[in-house]
Amino acid sequence: MSRKPIIAGNWKMNLLQADAKALFEGIQGFVKDFTAQQLPTVVVAPVFTSLSVVNSVKCDCGCGENKINIAAQNCHWEKSGAYTGELSVEMLADAGCSYIIIGHSERRQYFSETDEMINKKAKAILAGGLIPIICCGETLEQREAGVTDEHIATQIRAALNGLSEEEINNSIRISFSKYTTEKDIDALEATVNTGNDSNAKLREAITDLQGIVKTGADNNAALGTEIDNLAAKVNHAETGLAATKEIADTALQTSVANDGRLDAIEGNYVKFVPNADTTKPGTLVVGSTGVDVIIFNCGSATTNV
């Protein structure tokens, strides 16, 4: 399946409204000579105060305003309430956003956002009809410790927890975002291979999650079959036990009617087999013609039937 690349620009805490408008117009002027099909998916994420002003800039190339998408840099998972300083998904959609960035390394590092919070945000964004851009990444210390792959896979699995396969395939965008400091820049020479390796691990984690969803459905079907088989075995055992009881009752009644002579029973029989060790129980075999049905342990060779 071919994947359309995404170029998303996070403007972070930069630019006043006039500057944000000018930058957006510059990007718009660059993309106007290309069709939407020729371009990657282009996303810009201004600060909250500039969302409306950027959204008000209209394109005159006849593209239907579908060349540049607007994203918010964060959101809250609740629709409304006493959450000072926060914005809901509905508010951001009303301001013109079609994407929302969540889980950025700076939000995790400076504002202590957890995987659980990011998962709540992802679900709220999807419920609101927007597309989450889920960020993940590792610190320099984690990379040097060799736990990058495990760390980002854990982040992604947690962020996608509870989402359907369709939502993961069609409505999720994932961004690999390193915790970047001057120490990082000095210590690491950025390589394309590093990014590709991490992207491969991200796809692997998502594939694993999709496999769990599919396996769950398969396991449910297999479990249902196993339950059906077990029920059939139980029914068979119950039927056999009922038939055995009927044979035993008939055999004992016939034995009594014949003064205890078991050999006088027609079609059914009850046979006592004593144990060679007289201190141990013998066995009472109840059967029908040619078939031993069930064996009862008896107390001793002198046990009365």
Give me the pLDDT at residue 219, please. 58
Q: Is residue 266 included in any domain, yes or no?
A: no
How many Cα atoms occupy the beta-carbon half-sphere of 296 within 13 Å? Answer: 16
List the pLDDT tens digit at each of the 305 positions of the chain: 567 889 999 999 999 999 999 999 999 988 888 888 889 999 999 999 999 999 999 877 766 667 899 999 999 999 999 999 999 999 999 999 999 999 998 999 999 999 999 999 999 999 999 999 998 887 778 888 888 888 888 888 988 999 888 888 776 677 766 555 444 444 444 433 445 555 565 566 666 655 655 555 555 555 555 555 555 555 555 555 555 555 555 555 554 555 544 444 444 545 556 666 666 666 555 554 444 444 444 444 433 33
Confirm whether 271 is domain-assigned: no
**Which residue's structure tokens are 């300083």?**
85
- Which residues constitute the domain of residue 129? 6-219
- Give the pLDDT confidence of 49-84 residue by residue, as tens digits: 999 999 999 877 766 667 899 999 999 999 999 999
For residue 257, being part of any structural domain is answered with no
Using alpha carbons, list the distances in angstroms from residue 222 to 164, 165, 183, 207, 215. Answer: 21, 20, 53, 22, 10
- Total structural domains in the chain? 1
Whether 286 and 277 have beta carbons less than 8 Å apart is answered as: no
Residues with Cβ < 8 Å from 107, sequence gap 6 or more?
Answer: 74, 113
Q: Specify the CATH number for the domain of residue 111.
A: 3.20.20.70
Hey, how many other C-beta atoms are within 10 angstroms of the C-beta on 106? Answer: 17
What's the pLDDT at 142?
Answer: 81
Rounded to 5 degrees, φ, ψ at 173 are -125, 135
- 261 in a domain, yes or no? no
Answer whether residue 225 is part of any domain: no
In a domain, 197, yes or no: yes
The predicted pLDDT at position 189 comes to 45
Q: How high is the pLDDT of residue 187?
A: 44
pTM reported for the whole predicted model: 0.60
Structure tokens at 64: 């239907």
Residue 95 counted as domain residue: yes
130: left (phi over 0), alpha (psi -120 to 50) or beta: beta
- 243 located within any domain: no
Nearest to 213 by CA among 166, 174, 249: 166
